[in-house]
Amino acid sequence: MKSVYKFIAVLALLSALGATSFAQSARRTVVQIPFDFVVGGKTLPAGRYRVAPIGSNAYATWEVRSTSRDAGAIAMTTAIGGGSAQNESRLVFRKEGGTYFLAEVWTTADRAGHALKQSRRRADAQSADAGKLDSETVVIAMSTQE
């Protein structure tokens, strides 16, 4: 009888771990970024990147790392929007003064987006660009990493 209870306990634990693993993989995404961009004050070259939350702190910290692992950055975020699940995962970039800054991360696994905290470099670019029409928003869809 004890072995039956142990078996049920182990089965429940494995089920919980499997659900957590599935949820994490749904948030791990890959994207081809066609331009150099800034994350957390660091300039990253154009290329293929994995985007994933770090830890379990309500996805407040995200890592953007090239698939070749030679470039990457970590960014702090705050939750934005929310309500309904997203149809597609995407990154939102803001172009200020000729430089692209990663501004938001949206994933299909979440009901809210994640806005990156504005770096001093982006604030400076916005100040220098005040009144000019050079700013734009670029949205790039991401695919879920298997």
Q: Which 3 state secondary structure label does DSSP give 70?
A: coil
Q: What is the pLDDT of residues 24-79, one digit of tens each?
A: 444 568 999 999 999 988 999 999 999 998 876 666 899 999 999 889 999 999 98
Rounded distance, CA 45 to CA 100, Å? Answer: 11
The model carries a pTM of 0.70
Tell me the average pLDDT across 14-21: 40
Task: Using the predicted structure, report yes or no on whether residue 80 has a pLDDT greater than 70.
Answer: yes
Query: Tokens 């149809």 belong to which residue?
Result: 87
Among 74, 144, 71, 146, residue whose Cα is nearest residue 114: 74
If you write DSSP's letter for every residue of 36-50 in order, what string do you get?
A: -EEETTEEE-SEEEE
Question: In this predicted model, what pLDDT tens digit does every residue of 85-113 receive, in sequence order?
Answer: 667 889 999 998 889 999 999 888 777 88
pLDDT of residue 24: 43
Q: How many residues are present in the chain?
A: 146
Q: Which of 87, 84, 26 is nearest to 53 (CA)?
A: 26
Question: pLDDT (tens digit, 9 = 90+) per residue, 113-130?
Answer: 899 987 666 556 555 555
Pairing of strands 29-33, 42-44: unpaired
Q: Assess whether pLDDT exceeds 60 at residue 18.
A: no
